[in-house]
Structures are given as structure tokens and as C-alpha cells.
Amino acid sequence: MATSMNNRSFVLPTCVSLLEAFYRNISGVYTTDFPDQPPLIFDYTNISNSFDQNLLMTPKSTSLRRLRFNSTFRIMLQNTA
């Protein structure tokens, strides 16, 4: 089983926390290349998606999207069949 957002699975950093890396300006802990849109568009209601290895085995990374403090954003979560 894999959980992903925009076809990426998040993995926690192993050495320091994300906030510590941000405030101490430590490079190499995370990247800021999290995509705005899913790079792979597919039929989200198709039951056969459960067997598609491209959807099940998403790349694992510690990439993120930085947001302005106190900003409003929307995350849409959807089950892939």
C-alpha cells in the first residue's frame, strides 16, 4: 500500500526536522519542488487502478511546498478506486 499526493509519497527526514532545517538554513534535508498539479492524470474512479504499479509505487521524497504564514489553501484527498 502507498499513500501519495500529486503522485509522490512523503518520507520523513532522518537527521533533523523540517522546521529545524528551515530555520537553521540546513540544506539537503528537503526540496521545494513539490508539483502544483499531479504529473500523472488518470481515471480516478477506475477499479483497475488498484493493480497499476505506476500508481502504487510512487516516488518517495521529502519535497514540500512552502506557504505564506496564515495563508489559506485547499488540499483535496481522493481515494484512487
For the stretch 5-53, pLDDT in tens is 887 888 888 889 999 999 999 999 999 998 888 777 777 778 777 777 7
Helix or strand (DSSP H, E) at 60 = strand 60-61
Instruction: Give the pLDDT of residue 58.
Output: 80
Instruction: Give the pLDDT of residue 2.
Output: 62
pLDDT > 60? residue 1:
no
Instruction: Give the pLDDT of residue 56.
Output: 72
29 CB-near residues (< 8 Å, 6+ apart)? 13, 15, 16, 18, 21, 62
pLDDT band, very low/low/confident/very high, at 79 (cuts 50, 70, 90): low
Q: Comparing C-alpha atoms, which of 77, 67, 66 is closest to residue 5?
A: 77
